Structures are given as structure tokens and as C-alpha cells.
Structure 1
């Protein structure tokens, strides 16, 4: 009887997995502004209001006019958006932020107002991982936020397994290593051993600002300042923490499942 009741309950609820990427992407929460855009043409000459308010020095001013913003160091706190007098720094409401190179995380230079999104793996690795990708996750000093959003991808609404992507318990069964946290010195050896236990060829995915650059912990003696200090990184997914949709988008782009010009998600509500 219990089994029958369970089946009836499931039939009443129907399919709860989102249609994305074949349907519209879910809207970002109101407080999530998505990626940031820097329009150098709007920058006021001599203005540097956004520099001192950035908690991680993600914003630099290479010349008398205009600024560069490194989203690999950004905490998405919106302080720069709020103080910019000309609206040169704005939220886009776009969930897409994953890139293949740290240089592609820097926006604000002429012709680089927005991110250059991640390209797919080379043909050889796409043949190996394109339809089945097994990932081992390591929290290298993470605060639990990125780990929580990775867990969300396994829930019924997201169902990461429908793309052939699964998290595994053993690095010996993994194709890729997903790292969160700024890589504390106490976790360096464990991270290297996990990597060494994985069979080649293999991937490294840095999830979150801390894993990319160290985030707010960068420069502290207890951390190494990101995964790239220890291992070669194939995909960078910025955010503090990145939204589950941002993580999923990055994984699908790496596997060649999405085109770079795909329409963005429904924008988040305009901030007051």
C-alpha cells in the first residue's frame, strides 16, 4: 500500500525537473544581479570612487580614465555599482560567467566590456567526456556556500545526472576534479593526492571566487590563493558563491552543450 501511495503522489506532482537548457532559464533571485559589465566610455575622467570600496581590490585603474574589473576576485557585493556616479559599472542580470582562462575574467578594457564565455574542450577530450563526465569534489578550505550550490544540482529540480554528469566518491573513478575554497596550506597535500589518484586525461574546475583567486582570503599566509597555484585549471566559475545555474552553464559549455551566443536568463529584478 505504501508503494502505491508513493506512486500516486509522484504522478500528481508530475515532472519537476526544469526544462533548461531546452527551455528558458529560471530567473535569478531579486538580490542576485548576475554578471557585471564595465563601460569604459562612461567612466568620468579622474574618478576613482569604486576603487576604495572594493574589499578584494578586484578593481584597478590602468589610466586616468576607465577601470578594469577582475571577476575572478570579485565578491559581487555591489559596492562598486552603488558608488559609480556615471553608471559605468552595472549588473547585467546574466547568469553566464564561466571562462576557460583567468584573463577572460577581466572586463572594462576597450572591447572587453563583458566576459568572454568558456569554449568547449578540444575534440579529443570531448569524445571522452562529452556524454559522460564523473566529478570528484574537494573542499580545499571552503566555507560551505559553493558546496551547498553544487549539492543543489543533484536535486530533482536540476537533475545534473540527465546530462551524464555525476559526482563520485572516489578520485579513481573521476574524470574531473571540482575544487572549492582558497586552497589552505593544510589541504594542499590532500588536493595533490586526490589529483594524482585520478586517471589521465583529467580536468580541474575551480568553483567560486575563493577557488579562483583566494577571494577575501587572498594574501593570507594560511592559504595558497586559488587552485591554479597547485593544479592546472580547465574551467573557472566565478561567484561568491556562484548560482547553481552559473555552475551548470559552465559545465555544459565545457562539454559543448551550449553555444556562446545563447540567450541569457531572465534578468533579475532591478535593484533599488
Structure 2
């Protein structure tokens, strides 16, 4: 038993080659993007749809997208809701803390300036009044497929490589498991 454990310790973890091993000299992190979500004053309808992306049906993590807690690690800023007066400073600070290149996605009608709360005395309006918005994903709330499509467009703006092959690999893997 001791001999087997010693041999396993020496060899380390064995298994399939990681997809990034076949890139030969390319940066494996160019296939993923980190998302920082900020609720600037929404009704939580958009947040429910964002939570649905974490399930196995949409395979957000397998597509190379993941949510992070710190804006210093984020590539994409996902903003929901109209910007309230009290969240304006926090939203600007989050954007300033993100490294370059960064993409801002306005998610939902309220963040795009079309929702019922954008003309309230407590809000400043749409996200584009404070930050440069690269992509807008309208809907009240937008379905998870529209959110995923907007995030994939954001990854293309960031210059993330091999998105089409990774997506087709996930689709064939998903179809074979049915």
C-alpha cells in the first residue's frame, strides 16, 4: 500500500490532457473572461435570469465565463437596474478598479434607459450617463439566452480566442449526453 501511494505521489494527477495544453505557446487565459456584476438599483428580475445561467443547461462556466467578487479580476462589468444616486459612486469606483481592456454591458431595460424606474427622482437614469457602455441587452428581464449572447459578444470585443470552437465542443458534448 505504501509503495502504491508513493508512486501516485511521484506521478501526480494523471488523466486527459487539458485543452490549453494543445495551444502550444498561446496564453490559455485568452479563452476565458471574468464577470463582475453590479446591481445599481434593479428590481432583481435580471438577477434571477443571471442566476439561471449558472445551471447546467446554459453551461456558463464551461464556456469560459465566470463571476468574480473583485473588480480587479474582472474583464466584463455587468450592470443591472437604473443607477440610483447612492450607487453612482460605487459603480464609478468598480469601473475604475477594473484593468484594461474592460467591457461594460448594460443588462435589462432599466440599465438601458427604457425601464419604468429611469425617470424617478431617486435615479440618475441609464448606465451610459455614468460609464461608457459597450453592449446593451434590453428586456424586462432579458432571457438567459440573450444574456449569454451579450456576454459572448463582450468576449469577442475583448479579443478572446477560440470562442466558436469551444461553443461547438460544448454543444456536441451536450447533445451526446441526451
> Under a length normalisation based on structure 2, what TM-score does the superposition of the two structures give?
0.69
2:142 corresponds to 1:242: yes
Q: What does the per-residue CA deviation read over 1:163-222, in whole Å, with 9 as the maximum and x for residues that have no partner?
A: 111110111111111000011111101101111111112110000000010510122221
User: In terms of mean alpha carbon deviation, does 225-234 or 152-161 score higher?
Assistant: 152-161
2:103 corresponds to 1:203: yes
2:102 corresponds to 1:194: no
- Pair 1:132–1:139, CA change in 2 (3 A): same
Residue of 55, 59, 71 corresponding to 1:155? 55
Provide the residue aligned with 2:173 in structure 1. none
Provide the residue aligned with 2:10 in structure 1. none
- Do the aligned residues in 2 keep the contact of 1:214 with 1:223 (CA within 8 Å)? no
2:32 corresponds to 1:132: yes
User: Structure 1: which 5+ runs fail to align?
Assistant: 1-126, 259-272
- Pair 1:162–1:232, CA change in 2 (3 A): same
User: Structure 2: which 5+ runs fail to align?
Assistant: 1-26, 157-162, 165-178
- Do the aligned residues in 2 keep the contact of 1:182 with 1:218 (CA within 8 Å)? yes
2:118 corresponds to 1:218: yes
- Do the aligned residues in 1 keep the contact of 2:38 with 2:77 (CA within 8 Å)? yes
The 5 A counterparts of 1:142-181 are: 142-181=42-81
CA apart distance, 1:255: 3.1
Q: What does the per-residue CA deviation read over 1:209-246, in whole Å, with 9 as the maximum and x for residues that have no partner?
A: 00010510122221111110110011100000000011
- Pair 1:176–1:255, CA change in 2 (3 A): closer
Provide the residue aligned with 1:255 in structure 2. 155
Q: What does the per-residue CA deviation read over 1:111-140, in whole Å, with 9 as the maximum and x for residues that have no partner?
A: xxxxxxxxxxxxxxxx99862110100000
> Under a length normalisation based on structure 1, what TM-score does the superposition of the two structures give?
0.46
Root-mean-square deviation (CA, aligned residues, Å) is: 1.9
The 5 A counterparts of 1:41-80 are: none
Structure 1 runs of 4+ aligned residues shifted over 6 Å read: none
The 5 A counterparts of 1:13-28 are: none
